Structure 1
Amino acid sequence: MTFPLAPLDSSINHINAVNNLTDYKKEEKEFKHIEAKKVQLASERKLLSFKEKQLIHKETHLSAELEDLYTEIENFGFKEKELNPKFTQLNFKVIKLSQRIEQLRDEAQQLDAKVALLLLQTYQLKVNVEYRAKKGKET
């Protein structure tokens, strides 16, 4: 005695379709999360870029002040002892700003790497979704 396999096959197809839909929804949720993260990282990158420009502007301003001090020393023959504390303070500020600019550049590079990784993950999800959609049409 043989049993018909048709109801079993349709049940398996139904289960596979539900599993594919569940996988698709999970991937779609992941994709949206990655897209939101990309937007957040791009925003952080813009903020870091803005801060970097501000620090470069400050560094330029302090360098100009430093040059003015050198000029004052040369032109008016001021004793180095009178200007030395101010000169040292400006030199310290320039060094600190230079270090901060380097730190911001490093952070910007890290954000670039994160964005690249997210782009790769987004592409991988897109390919997976397209493959599943194509596979679902063939079934």
Structure 2
Amino acid sequence: MCTKRVVICLSLVSMLFTSTTWAINKDYRHKLEQSGCTQVSEAQGCDINKSKAENAKAGFVNESSDTTASATSPYAGKWLALSDSGDTVANISIDKNDKVIVNGKSVHATKTDGGLQFKQGMVIYTLQGDRRVKGEDVWRDTDAGTQGKIFKK
């Protein structure tokens, strides 16, 4: 009976101490808000010591904290998916709200793992969110087993 009480008390005390380690301090939270970064985007390269505009240029803006109409997605623009032989696989258009049109048809896109991913038929397209990273915008045809690169026009 006594050991159950000790175990319960120790569990409660450990929960009390571990919960405080998850909190961020006021200064850090202020830097995140001013820079437009989140803890996740900071880990991906967003600089909390830069302004929101500078981080937006680099493609690291926390959409929930950025209320300006001029903010655009790092994916916005016209893209071209090419085969290894240089043939056009798809013409892709993405607006500033990440609405994707592939070959004239609207498709559903999801943000995943620091990138934007969408599918049309058996082809999966993936665009890297960090525009400084080159060569990682790719498409894969899961049916034919082919793949290639995607380039911004």
Query: TM-score normalized by structure 1?
Result: 0.28
Compare the two structures and name the one with the higher strand fraction.
Answer: 2
| Higher RCO by CA contacts (8 Å cutoff, separation 6 or greater) | 1
Query: TM-score normalized by structure 2?
Result: 0.26
